Amino acid sequence: MRLQGVRAIDVEGTAGLEGALTTDDAHGLVRLVTVADATCVIVGEVPRAQARERADELRRFVDSFRPGSAAGR
């Protein structure tokens, strides 16, 4: 398993990290964001053979998680 291209990100004012995860069989996006006093880890992965065709889907999935998205439930 390899985590590559790790970069600092800002999600609606919340600091985090994002990178690409690669294994022998899969490719994915990993995002870590601090929410209050906890760390939220979002991982979306697809079979490596489908990585290019499903890249937009992975991005939408990871981007759909927001630090305040559970508020009010």
CA distance 31 to 39: 10
pTM score, whole prediction: 0.74
CA distance 24 to 13: 35
* Sole residue written with tokens 């759909």: 64
Per-residue pLDDT of the chain (73 residues; tens, 9 = 90+): 788 999 999 988 888 999 999 999 999 999 998 877 888 888 999 999 999 999 999 999 998 887 765 544 4
Radius of gyration, CA atoms only, the chain: 13
pLDDT at 6: 95
* Sole residue written with tokens 């398993």: 1
pLDDT at 73: 40
Is residue 26 a contact partner of residue 47, using CB atoms and an 8 Å limit? yes
